[in-house]
Amino acid sequence: MNDADLQRELVSLPIKYLHKFAKGRIHRHFRLSKRRLIDSILALPSEQKMAIAHEVEQISTSPKKSPATSGNPKSSSPFYPKRSSPKKLSKSAPPSSAIGLQDLLEGIGVPEPKPFIPDDWQKEAVEAIAHSDVIVSAPTGSGKTFVATEAIQQAMARNQTVIYTSPLKALSNTKYMEFSQFFGKDQVGILTGDRRDNSQAPLLIMTTEILRNILYDATSGDLDLRLHTLGLVILDESQYLADPERGVVWEETLILCPTQTRLLLLSASIGNPQELAEWLTAIRPTTSCHLIRHTKRSVPLRALYLHPSGQLVPLLENRDIQQQKGYRFHPETKRLFNEYEFKPYR
Amino acid sequence: MPPAIHPIDLVDILRQHRLTPAIIFLTSRRGCDEAIDTFIHSTAGVSASRSEEIRTFLEKFSKEFPSIANHPLIPVVQDYGVAAHHAGHLPSWKIAIEELMRQGLLDAVFATTTLAAGVDFPARTVVVSQSSVRKSQDFADLTVSEIQQLAGRGGRRGKDFVGFVVVTPSPYIDLHVLGKGLTGQPEPIDSQFVVSFPMVLNLLKAHALDQIEGLLAKSFAQFQLNQRAAIHQDRLGELQEQLKPYGPRECADWVAQWKVFDLARRRKAHRRPVVNTDSPYLTACLPFLTAGRLIGLAKGPAIILRQYRSRGTGTPMLSVLHAKGTLGECQAQRVVEIYDQVHEFQPIRNLPWCPPRTLHQFKNILSQLPVRPPTLPILEASQEPDDPLLSNILTEEFACPTCPSHEACKKDVAVASRLQLKAQQATKTIQALRDGLWHQFQRKADVLHKFGYLTATLQLTDTGEWGRLIRINHSLLITELIRMEAFSGIAPELLAGVMASIAHDDDRPSSYMRLTPGLATMLAQVRQVADSLRAYEPTPLLRSDVAAIAERWIGQTELSWASLVRSTSMAEGDVYRLLARTLEFLSQIYGLKATHPGLADTAHQAMVNMRREVLAELP
């Protein structure tokens, strides 16, 4: 066993063993860090190093395990006891409680195209919007747009006007194109500060500021838009309510919205949707506000850690990211990250 | 400093593990652009068929949006299937990239974290390489909501079984921030309600004053404030419960009574001897015993060279020049006469306290003195009387010492007064929370009244009637400028330039554009007005370089977008956003066509000139 091999083996061992080797050989070994310990072991005379190498071999062969293969399927059994035994010393095999990279990468792929079946929460939201205001708080990409399109269709069927607002002009434009494809070009209009494209269409897209201005004008009498047929207002990205500069516009819009109009607030996951719902119920006495809070993602999300050297390992101990249950980093991630932070990486 | 992974390696690894398409979030726009640039040296391109598909898509797309036809990034996108997507790009380019991503033609998109909310396209994988973002001045950790917003782009519904978040370290990353962000509960949102000038005007236009109080009470801000007030209310209830045993005794408000009594007692007990031992007469004299003053001592006349206090006892002392020409020291109280005669000189800090020439002059003066120089009358101040209120109290007879509940009061006063104080604070806080918004409204209304937008009874004046139509930031500045007729007869490009400088609130490095003299004077005037309104409205940045960009674009209608962008160091996307925002401001001015037809026409002309090429592509 040459120096390089020995060093690699030593690095993979817990520091406890290194102290055992160093006992009687290195002065004040208990004061040394792992790296310094390894350095001083390697600096020992060759016969002592031979002896240590022998001991190392004994230790690493005793739990009969082949090193260097990561993600041993057996070791990742969920029924295995959680505490890792100190005998498992092979370098890249993660302790038993953690899962391997293979498990994590398992199941990548494209599902068969199948007819779209709405989730229960989506159905619930669509049903609720028929008779009350609705707040949908759901993670990104979980299908809030579906709720919006269903609600728009409902309202259109009743010959009502629908206003869809988004916080950014860029998002307005994207939605304009999306809805134009979905409902047909003549059904969708867009309003900006100076432009009115197809403003007589049943579905109007605008930024929230524009809607606020329309509501200002409506309440002061000089109205140029059909507010009496306004059946539904959809506020996308309503978490902007907390935006330091523009949040006030959302509040004004919600306060000034006519009472007969249904509100549909689509928001990313926020901490207090209940509070928002209580507020809306309080200020709009004729209708209650239905809260739909969906925290589960429709596509499970998994976390990986990519070391700058190109090594890919799981980030967390669990396979899928689980919400609100705390987190523990995967031991490999911890090891690699410590290395990254403290050792200049070449 | 440990480096981050190289972008080419990163994309390679993602491809190997079938983790593409991916969105890679980087800290800066520059980071994104540099990452894309490195791909020119890469060997691993996408297949020829995919390259062809991208090409046909972009060709078709550029028919609708000609602005992207010659985009410098097109070759990289076609050959390597990667792209950058950040606020420095034109919206049309961003839409093209988003569409390509949706069709699954790209492998990786490099985007900035700051615009995560504006990124509306999913991917199989999201790569996060930092745990903080730049916020105005410094770096702040990503919040849980922000991280979930980022991570949420991973995993396309209907196209993926699973989505991935790949964390790759870069300098200054904190894994725990990300760990918490991925698994934690998003932050609750808080209201950011503020009363603005346009809000006041528009509410007053449509509603009576008492209705407005109700409307403000309907805000989420008030809802949350009320919740906080309720907590204080509970605490107040508890305090009042605790205060019950300390109710009225011999006198109704015994705590206050005791406090006065205590104050008086202390005042008596602690009457200190006066530190200053100077007699009143001496105190009155000292201001006159300054350097250069002629005085009479027992020995004869003398001139003061300096005044000081003795080291030990602090007695006021004088260094003097005697009539016979000798220097000497004497105590200030030994002065017999103070004459009305001062000789100015330049004192110096050591013996003989004045320049030799002055000394010589003084000797001459002393030798030629008249027999009786005029003296200075010294008015001795009478002893300062005590604080009248306190002296009153001190003479008053207190009932407390003989009161039957004296002992009980003495025991309880500490607890009771503390509780009372807390209760008072709680009451004040509750009041502030309940009425805060209303007071804010009233303050704004007062300002508007002062400027003449509102009458004393809070009715809109004629000015207010049109002023309420300006509903943008810095509305007060704009309406004031219009009232001063600063814009009368102005050219459209000048108006656009001024509006651009008011609208632009980003302080990214400037763009070195030359100003025309007309615009420069105009901006100087605007700045003056803005400064005078500083107390009522935050001053806009009023950058002259952005004004110049807008002025050029509006003024030179034959100017192409490419040459405009080439003439500035601002990113294309920033120029676009600047002009789009200016357009918004101009359209507000155009809204004044009923009362200010001339100005509205100018604004309209500016808007028409603005809407060409790229700016005409999107509504």
Question: What mean pLDDT do residues B594-610 have?
Answer: 93
Burial code of B556-579, b = ≥16 C-beta within 10 A, e = fewer?
eeeeebeebbebbebbbbbbbbbb
Nearest-5° Cα angle at A184, B122 to A117: 50
- Percentage with pLDDT > 90 across chain B: 29
**Per the CB < 8 Å rule, is B2 touching A141?**
no
Alpha carbon distance, N-terminus to C-terminus of chain B: 46
> Within an 8 Å CB–CB cutoff, is residue B3 touching chain A?
yes
Domain span at residue A259? 120-293
> Within an 8 Å CB–CB cutoff, is residue A241 touching chain B?
yes
Residue A276 within a domain: yes
> Within an 8 Å CB–CB cutoff, is residue A305 touching chain B?
yes
Residues of B in contact with A344 (CB under 8 A): 2
Which of residues A278, A293, A308 is at a domain's end? A293
Q: Provide the residue ranges of all domains of chain B, joining segments of one domain with +.
A: 7-183, 192-246+413-455, 280-367, 469-617
In a shared domain, residues A163 and A26? no
Q: Which residue on chain A is closest to B7 by alpha carbon?
A: A308
Q: What's the rounded Cα separation, in Å, for the pair B148 and A320?
A: 14
Residue B2 pLDDT level (bands cut at 50, 70, 90): low
How far, in whole angstroms, is CA B560 from its chain's centroid? Answer: 39
Residue A78 pLDDT level (bands cut at 50, 70, 90): very low
Q: What's the rounded Cα separation, in Å, for the pair B236 and B419?
A: 10
Residue B428: pLDDT above 90? Answer: yes
Residues B501, B505, B506, B509: is their CA dihedral positive or negative?
Answer: positive
Residue A190 within a domain: yes
Closest by CA to B424, choosing from B250, B264, B256, is B256
Q: What's the rounded Cα separation, in Å, for the pair B236 and B182?
A: 40
Residue B78: pLDDT above 50? Answer: yes
> Within an 8 Å CB–CB cutoff, is residue A43 touching chain B?
no
In a shared domain, residues A185 and A253? yes
Residue A65 pLDDT level (bands cut at 50, 70, 90): very low
Residues of B in contact with A170 (CB under 8 A): 91, 94, 118
In a shared domain, residues A142 and A12? no
Pairs across A and B, CB distance < 8 A: 249
- E strand segments, chain A: 133-137, 161-166, 188-191, 196-197, 203-207, 230-235, 262-267, 289-293, 301-306, 312-314
In a shared domain, residues A124 and A203? yes
Q: Best-predicted range by mean pLDDT among A55-69, A117-131, B370-384?
A: A117-131
Q: CB–CB of A268/A137 below 8 Å?
A: yes
Separation in Å, CA of A205 to nearest CA in chain B: 11
**Kind and range of the H or E element at B127?**
strand B125-128
In a shared domain, residues A260 and A163? yes
B185 closest CB neighbour out of A177, A219, A324: A324
The reported pLDDT for the residue numbered B282 is 82
In a shared domain, residues A125 and A246? yes
The reported pLDDT for the residue numbered B443 is 93
Q: Is B517 helix (H, G, I), strand (E, B) or coil?
A: helix
Question: What mean pLDDT do residues B331-341 have?
Answer: 86
**Range scoring the smallest mean pLDDT among A75-79, B243-247, B375-379:** A75-79
| More confident of the two residues B381 and B163 | B163
Burial code of B533-554, b = ≥16 C-beta within 10 A, e = fewer?
beebbeebebbbbbbbbbbbbb
Which of residues A43, A62, A81 is at a domain's end? A62
**Per the CB < 8 Å rule, is B13 touching A326?**
no
Neighbouring residues of B140: CB distance < 8 A, sequence distance ≥ 6? B132, B133
A248 closest CB neighbour out of B122, B164, B194: B194
The reported pLDDT for the residue numbered A338 is 82
Residue B395 pLDDT level (bands cut at 50, 70, 90): low
Could you give the number of structural domains in chain A? Answer: 2
Residue A316 within a domain: no
> Within an 8 Å CB–CB cutoff, is residue B81 touching chain A?
no
Q: Which residue on chain A is closest to B208 by alpha carbon?
A: A220
Q: What's the rounded Cα separation, in Å, for the pair A248 and B196?
A: 9
Residue A225 pLDDT level (bands cut at 50, 70, 90): low
Q: What's the rounded Cα separation, in Å, for the pair B83 and B77?
A: 6
Residues of B in contact with A259 (CB under 8 A): none
Residue B495: pLDDT above 90? Answer: yes
pLDDT in tens, B270-304: 555 556 667 778 888 888 888 888 888 888 889 99
Residue A225 within a domain: yes
Residue A344 pLDDT level (bands cut at 50, 70, 90): low
Residue A70: pLDDT above 70? Answer: no
Q: Which two tokens stand for residue B615?
A: 């700016």
The reported pLDDT for the residue numbered B511 is 67
The reported pLDDT for the residue numbered B255 is 86
Q: What's the rounded Cα separation, in Å, for the pair B70 and B89?
A: 13
pLDDT in tens, A249-269: 999 999 988 888 899 999 888
Separation in Å, CA of B185 to nearest CA in chain A: 6
Residue A221 pLDDT level (bands cut at 50, 70, 90): low
B189 closest CB neighbour out of A190, A197, A239: A239
Q: CB–CB of B332/B307 below 8 Å?
A: yes
Residues of A in contact with B155 (CB under 8 A): 141, 297, 299-301
**Per the CB < 8 Å rule, is A216 touching B194?**
no
> Within an 8 Å CB–CB cutoff, is residue B98 touching chain A?
yes
Neighbouring residues of B284: CB distance < 8 A, sequence distance ≥ 6? B378, B379, B380, B381
Q: CB–CB of A290/A278 below 8 Å?
A: no
Mutate to test the interface with B, among A210, A224, A299, A320 (most CBs of B within 10 A): A299
In a shared domain, residues A262 and A129? yes
Separation in Å, CA of B604 to nearest CA in chain A: 9
The reported pLDDT for the residue numbered B116 is 57
pLDDT in tens, B511-525: 667 788 889 999 999
**Per the CB < 8 Å rule, is B166 touching A305?**
yes
Residue B209: pLDDT above 70? Answer: yes
Closest by CA to A157, choosing from A123, A130, A184, is A130
Q: Which two tokens stand for residue A213?
A: 């201005």
DSSP code of residue B538: P
> Within an 8 Å CB–CB cutoff, is residue A182 touching chain B?
no
Q: Which residue has the tokens 């700051």?
A: B114
Question: What mean pLDDT do residues A32-37 have?
Answer: 86
Residue A67 within a domain: no
What Cα–Cα distance (Å) separates residue A130 from each residue in A159, A213, A261?
A: 14, 26, 11
In a shared domain, residues A279 and A144? yes
Residues B96, B99, B100, B106: is their CA dihedral positive or negative?
Answer: positive
How far, in whole angstroms, is CA A16 from its chain's centroid? Answer: 38
Q: What's the rounded Cα separation, in Å, for the pair B518 and A83?
A: 77
A279 closest CB neighbour out of B186, B190, B223: B223
Q: Which residue on chain A is closest to B182 by alpha carbon?
A: A321
B219 closest CB neighbour out of A251, A299, A341: A251
Residues of B in contact with A147 (CB under 8 A): none
Q: The domain B469-617: what is its CATH number?
A: 1.10.3380.30
In a shared domain, residues A142 and A286? yes
Residue A229 within a domain: yes
DSSP code of residue B381: P
CATH code (residue A188): 3.40.50.300
Nearest-5° Cα angle at A158, A153 to A161: 75
**Per the CB < 8 Å rule, is B167 touching A305?**
yes
How far, in whole angstroms, is CA B147 from its chain's centroid? Answer: 27
> Within an 8 Å CB–CB cutoff, is residue B155 touching chain A?
yes
A345 closest CB neighbour out of B3, B185, B205: B3
Residue B458: pLDDT above 70? Answer: yes
Q: Which residue has the tokens 């000394």?
A: B359
Q: Is B101 helix (H, G, I), strand (E, B) or coil?
A: helix
| Range 115-134 of B in CB contact (< 8 A) with A | 117-118, 120, 122, 124, 127
The reported pLDDT for the residue numbered A85 is 40
Average pLDDT value over all residues in chain A: 81
Residue A106 within a domain: no
The reported pLDDT for the residue numbered A83 is 41
DSSP code of residue B396: S
Residue B499: pLDDT above 90? Answer: yes
**Per the CB < 8 Å rule, is B160 touching A110?**
yes
Residues of B in contact with A298 (CB under 8 A): 157
Separation in Å, CA of B493 to nearest CA in chain A: 17
Residue A83 within a domain: no
**Per the CB < 8 Å rule, is B175 touching A308?**
no
Phi, psi at B24, each rounded to 5°: -110, 115
Neighbouring residues of B74: CB distance < 8 A, sequence distance ≥ 6? B58, B68
DSSP code of residue B87: T
Q: What's the rounded Cα separation, in Å, for the pair B426 and A37?
A: 62
**Per the CB < 8 Å rule, is A116 touching B158?**
yes
Residue A87: pLDDT above 60? Answer: no
ipTM: 0.75
Question: What mean pLDDT do residues A284-291 have?
Answer: 87
> Which superfamily does CATH assign the domain made up of B7-183 to?
P-loop containing nucleotide triphosphate hydrolases (3.40.50.300)
CA dihedral B319, B323, B324, B326 (to 10 degrees): 10
> Within an 8 Å CB–CB cutoff, is residue A239 touching chain B?
yes
Q: What's the rounded Cα separation, in Å, for the pair B278 and B290?
A: 17
